[in-house]
Amino acid sequence: MLNVPSQAFPAPSSQQRVSSQGRSKVPLKQGRSLMDWIRLTRSGKDLTGLKGRLIDVTEEELKTHNKKDDCWICIRGLVYNVSPYMEYHPGGEDELMRAAGTDGTDLFNEVHRWVNYESMLKECLVGRMAMKPAVTKDCHEGKRVLNGMRPKSQVTDTLPREGPSSPSYDWFQTESSVTIVIYTKQKNINLDSVIVDLQDDSLRAEVAIKDHSYLIHIELSHEVQENFSVRVIENVGKIDIVLQKRENIPWKCLGQPLEKHDSFIPKKDTVLYYRKCQLTSKEYVTHDTRLFCLMLPPSTHLQVPVGHHVYLKLSVTGAEIVKPYTPVSESLLSDFKEPVLPPNKYIYFLIKIYPDGLFTPELDRLQIGDFVSVSSPEGNFKLSKLQQVEDLFLLAAGTGFTPMVNVLNYSLTYVPSLRKVKLMFFNKTEEDIIWRCQLEKLAFKDKRFDIEFVLSAPSSEWNGKWGHVSQGLLSEFLQRSVENSRVFLCICGPTPFTDEGIRLLHDLNFSTDEIHGFTA
């Protein structure tokens, strides 16, 4: 409910957008910006009304705090007094009041679960919800038979009946290695579906299975080396995580379970996990756009699926600020760039720097060697939409070009049915066009690809198209290579651009199933 991103996020089809009405910013009073809120939280003023005390809050107590000047909200078991934040909330007071005096976790997850509310609301923390006693399941790893299957009853029983089958895991060892085997019970699991983080002998492995997430989280019983391997057998949905022992001794158990170990829950209910990535390079692409290269930790396996995004997190004036960005490939033309860095260890971002912004200037000030926290991937784009496509049309405005990069690369490389890819790229001036030279070279190199630039404020020397997204521009652009070809359209940019573009595409008789709106 805090730190709302730019207008370009979320996109109409994004999982982060509210179901039907959408979500818009509310004009804030002067002196009520995000920076003003940060200053207030650091002023020493009592924002809870409890003079620094933390209390256990019962459901009955929470219900009584349901007014604008006395508004408590529970998010993931923690209760906050959000009354002081009312005038600072970009979504407006009414949105906060939807959760007044209640557990607002579901509403929070629906709108913007990625927001780092713990940092932004830490001075408003009232306390924890008073929990009713509950019998916990015994999942002590030491009681397992060596190399044996876990009892099925230990899998978290939070899965709706209509969801995918609950995964299970096992492990075995050799003299020098330990292999954890995850049985997903699903076909078509690939390396993009698996994220592994190994830190201080704590192993965290998360597998995306449809709209659910399966988590293995263990404090390993012995030390292992930082390098490990991940193997996926797609046709049976089996995942092997192979760890290398530091000492060639037999393990009696895999280790002790940590928080949420062996859980299988809807993705929307998971908490984003971050790892620190090191800035290795920063290149100027245009006058206000940079290409950032971040290196993953050596003991992390993470591949961002095509069409998905991650969140970058930085500490700004004492508060943690989070923003969503879509990774890109290093270049559209790998043949033209040497040396090529090892794959799957680096993540690239094309990011526009806003001088008056709070986040991007701080990002731009980072020095080589500094660290940025990067979340696990999010998104709802399905690669299956591209598998049989013959004509792919891409509509992008400004940095809305970023999700198109990997879609373009993937389609030209892995879609045999593809006849044509066309990109219409909207910008203000010629100087704003990202990777113009690379796009033109790619169009020359691959005859299946066409690029059209459209400027809204061109110079007198501009001979190309100009204006804003319109039915006239799109009608001419959306010409199929053959009659009744299988088509798919992707669009991304500021919210007004995306919303208007999708409306025009529907007017031109393209169906919802043929259109995907990306987050910018």
CATH code: domain 274-378 is: 2.40.30.10
* pLDDT higher than 90, residue 367: yes
Confidence at 320, pLDDT banded by 50, 70, 90? confident
Q: Give the tens place of pLDDT for each residue, 49-70.
A: 887 778 888 999 999 999 999 9
Of the candidate CATH numbers 3.30.930.10, 3.10.120.10, 3.40.1310.30, 3.40.50.1980, the domain formed by 25-129 belongs to 3.10.120.10
DSSP symbol at 341: P
| Contact between 433 and 462 (Cβ < 8 Å) | no
Q: Quick one: average pLDDT of 379-404?
A: 94
| Mean pLDDT for the stretch of residues 300-325 | 91
pLDDT band per the 50, 70, 90 thresholds, residue 234: confident
Overall average pLDDT of the 298-318 stretch: 92
What CATH number has the domain spanning 383-517? 3.40.50.80
Distance of CA 326 to CAs 187, 304, 360, Å? 27, 9, 15
Query: From CA 265, how far away is CA 214, in angstroms rounded?
Result: 7
Q: Which pLDDT does position 133 carry in this prediction? A: 55
* In the chain, domain spans: 25-129, 168-269, 274-378, 383-517
pLDDT of residue 242 exceeding 80, the answer is yes
Q: Is the pLDDT of residue 1 over 60?
A: no
Opening angle at CA 215, ends 224 and 220, nearest 5 = 25
Which fold, 168-269?
Immunoglobulin-like (2.60.40)
Residue 136 pLDDT class (50, 70, 90 cuts) = very low
pLDDT number for residue 76: 82
User: DSSP strand E in 3-75: where?
Assistant: 55-57, 66-67, 70-75
Q: How does residue 498 score in pLDDT terms, banded at 50, 70 and 90?
A: very high
Q: What is the pLDDT of residues 9-28, one digit of tens each?
A: 343 333 333 333 334 556 77
User: What integer is the mean pLDDT of 399-415?
Assistant: 95
Given a cut of 60, whether residue 159 has pLDDT beyond it is: no
| Mean pLDDT over the full length of the chain | 85
The span from the CA of 299 to the CA of 123, in Å, is: 34
Give the other-Cβ count within 10 Å of 366's Cβ. Answer: 15
